[in-house]
Amino acid sequence: MPPTPAMIAAARAAMIHALGLVADDAVLVVTDDETRACGEAFAAAARKVGCDVTVHRLAADERPLLGVPPELAALLDDRQVVINAIVGDVRELPFRLAWLRMLEGSAVIRLGHSPGITASMMTDGPLAVDYGRMRQLASGLIAAFADAAGAHITTPLGTDLVLDLRGRRLVSDLHAVPGVGVNLPCGEVYGCPVETGADGTLVVDGCWGSAGTVPSPLTFTLEAGRVVDARCDDAATLDAVTRLLDTDPGARTIAELGIGLNPGARLCDRMLEAEKAFRTAHLAFGDNQGMPGGRSRSAVHIDYLVTRPTITVLRADGSEVPVLADGDIVGGQEGGGHE
């Protein structure tokens, strides 16, 4: 199915606002059979801007990929913008992490990363949004976390987790620069806690990784930044999560805290979109070397979503600053989102 005009318009808006796309850019779009219409939408939008565009389709008979194919790496010469419109298969995490390190190691490439993107994401909200408003929300949240010593996170289902944020900062994913790419759709502020500084309980009730929404709440116990216990009434989910946690020594390490702020993002089974939705936060375990201050090395980076979080910033002087209350940004800056 070819991309619709609405998909192309949304792709163009996202690339202009989040990637700073201009006519002089040479663009590489990486796609595959499942996401081909989305990839072609990005390619068509870039051509409308006047860019030179190359589309590379990952061969189905070579999936899942565990490393970067040489023919793909060879396409990076003279490219300023790369779009990854591909499936979000968890088995390809080694490939995606290696590919991201290659792209973000470039001094010139601006990256839009979209593992798991769908046509619905392009036409039903999260790409065609008010990017200026998101930047305002992001600035407010980042300011609230400035010089934070820590954060206390609770949820109605039982999350009660304290993170050490000393020396770490939150950033937004709203504007790609060489060295730091963004997701498309974008719309979050994120950062990595101190790798030895996460203690308490995390109860996941949203989606996780690329596996969809948990069929039963998933509970993690963390001590000194590492997952020491995982529980879930659904045996298949628990088995899959445990196998990922045991991937390597870094796979149990706290890697990220993120807060969604995209008004068009929906609470759904796809992490790429759901983690951007209002009234959500997500935490990840595994690799965080691409984040400011990140020191955890792993072959995996797995996100876990919670809904209706209450988050309080903890200051070194003992004061506390409420940031989210039952999911809503404190101060009435914004609320709602799509469920």
Residue 14: name the closest of 203, 177, 176, 153 by CA: 176
Query: What is the pTM for the complete model shown?
Result: 0.90
CB 287 within 8 Å of CB 97 = yes
The full length of the chain comes to 339
Say whether 134 sits in a helix, a strand or coil.
Answer: helix
Q: Which of 39, 202, 64 is nearest to 121 (CA)?
A: 39
Structural domains for the chain: 5-123 (3.40.1830.10), 131-329 (no CATH)
pLDDT band at 338 (very low <50, low <70, confident <90, very high): very low
Q: What are 112's strand-pairing partners?
A: 83, 182
The stretch 205-233 carries a mean pLDDT of: 97
Cβ atoms 59, 214 nearer than 8 A: no
pLDDT (average), residues 39-67:
96
User: Which whole-number Å values give the CA distances from 194 to 24, 225, 253, 258, 302, in the listed order?
Assistant: 40, 8, 10, 14, 17
Q: Is the pLDDT at 44 greater than 60, yes or no?
A: yes
Q: What is the mean pLDDT of residues 227-235?
A: 98
Q: How far is CA 163 from CA 140, 150, 191, in A?
A: 20, 5, 11
Q: How far is CA 169 from CA 12, 149, 267, 315, in A?
A: 30, 10, 26, 13
Alpha helices in the chain (DSSP H): 5-19, 36-49, 70-73, 93-104, 119-123, 131-145, 235-245, 271-274
Distance CA 303, CA 269 (A): 12
Question: Using 50, 70 and 90 to split pLDDT, how confident is the model at 198?
Answer: very high
pLDDT, tens digit, for every residue of 316-331? 999 999 999 999 999 7
Model pLDDT, residue 335: 43
> How far apart are the C-alpha atoms of 51 and 103, rounded to whole Å?
19
